[in-house]
Amino acid sequence: MRVLLTGGAGYIGSHTALVLLEAGYDVTVLDDFSNSSAESVARIEALTDRSVQTIACNLGDLREAAQALQVIDFEAAIHLAGFKAVGESVKNPSAYYRNNIVSTLNLLDILRAKNVRELVFSSSATVYGVPQTERIDESHPTGQGLTNPYGRSKAMIEQIIRDVHASWPDFKAVLLRYFNPVGAHESGRIGESPSGVPNNLMPYVAQVAAGQRESVKVFGDAYATPDGTGVRDYIHVMDLADGHLAALQHLEPGVATYNLGSGIGYSVLDVIGAYAEASGKDVPYVITEPRAGDVSRVIADPSRANQMLGWSAKRSLDDACRDSWRWQKQNPEGLQGRYTVAE
């Protein structure tokens, strides 16, 4: 069975491609390499000793994408392509809506035209807005109180997929709401290559441990959490990749939603401490003002995925720090060579 991975050269897509190849699937990666490089695909091929069909194409261009996919037979698609930097989405909303939403509309039209009925979509816990419960399950309201265009684009796409299903009852879709993906493949050959200054905590901590940056800025220490810093549900990217495989194997007509998280919350200081331990390096930090739009805690209730998909997170925060550090040490400049010191 062949699976199309849009955005398959990126951070989560590359790990998912590897897991699918190891499970015996054939993989086609469609990517415009706007935030990745062909090197990650070459590395997946080397790690798995399998070849990956690669299409360099902008999914936002319907003609180009439809033409490229016309000659390819695939039975399911995992749709990861999109822009994901929250701050950038606030500065340039139309680029975010255009890329994320138009790409999805194009893919949905192509699937319909080819009668490909299976879709797994990369959504985010961001659709829940400000958590109203200690741990968030899939029945938590979505689309309310979202503070940025990135988050809103995810909520809108979820709705679009539901509407497409309403018009096409045979369509089988899964919306995967990722919590905080971290870590890298244990080989250290593929991982996350942020461009410029990392927005997310773990890649920033990795660059501080490596001596590339002076100290971690901890965004606030007066939250209602045990140590006052923000608490998140960090999920190892290989567990996340396994979650895509499980979702693909359990597709049914309809639109199902699943949280992919560990169910465990760690604070910013927990992450810094775990990373220092895993790397054997000092990780200095300073407390700064809270970041606009941040909330105190976001933790998944992953019971539905545990029960319905037979999936659960197996790797710990320590595993993620160890694997991130191996990746950081082996690839200090990332794969695209876009690491910059200036903040």
Answer with the entry of ligand UD1, ligand NAD, none that 92 interacts with (C-beta below 5 to 8 A by kind).
Answer: none
Give how far the C-alpha of residue 180 lies from the chain's centroid of Cα atoms, to the nearest Å.
8
CB closer to ligand NAD out of 188 and 228? 188
156-195 binders of ligand NAD (CB under 6 A): 178, 181
Smallest distance, Å, CB 79 to ligand UD1? 16
Query: Interface with ligand NAD includes 60 (CB under 6 A)?
Result: yes
> What SS3 string covers 7-53?
CCCCHHHHHHHHHHHHCCCEEEEEECCCCCCHHHHHHHHHHHCCCCE
Give the residues across from 78 on adjacent strands: 5, 120
Among left, alpha and beta (phi > 0; psi -120 to 50; other), residue 181 is beta
Q: How far apart are the first and last CA of the chain?
A: 45
Nearest residue to ligand NAD, scored by beta-carbon proximity: 10
Cβ contact 111:46 at 8 Å: no
Smallest distance, Å, CB 27 to ligand UD1? 24
Smallest distance, Å, CB 33 to ligand UD1? 20
| Given 150, 178, 234, 266, the catalytic residue | 150
Residue 150 annotated to the active site: yes
- What Cα–Cα distance (Å) separates residue 63 from each residue in 57, 69, 87, 252? 10, 10, 30, 30
CB closer to ligand UD1 out of 106 and 122? 122
Give how far the C-alpha of residue 251 lies from the chain's centroid of Cα atoms, to the nearest Å.
20
Query: Interface with ligand NAD includes 124 (CB under 6 A)?
Result: yes
Question: 182 — phi, psi (to 5°)?
Answer: -145, 170
Answer with the entry of ligand NAD, ligand UD1, none that 80 interacts with (C-beta below 5 to 8 A by kind).
Answer: ligand NAD
Query: Interface with ligand NAD includes 103 (CB under 6 A)?
Result: yes
CB closer to ligand UD1 out of 28 and 126? 126
Cβ contact 88:96 at 8 Å: yes
| Residue span 29-48 as binding mask against ligand NAD, x where in contact by CB under 6 A, dash where not | --xxxxxx------------
Binding site for ligand NAD (CB under 6 A): 7, 9-13, 31-36, 58-60, 80-82, 84, 99, 103, 122, 124, 178, 181
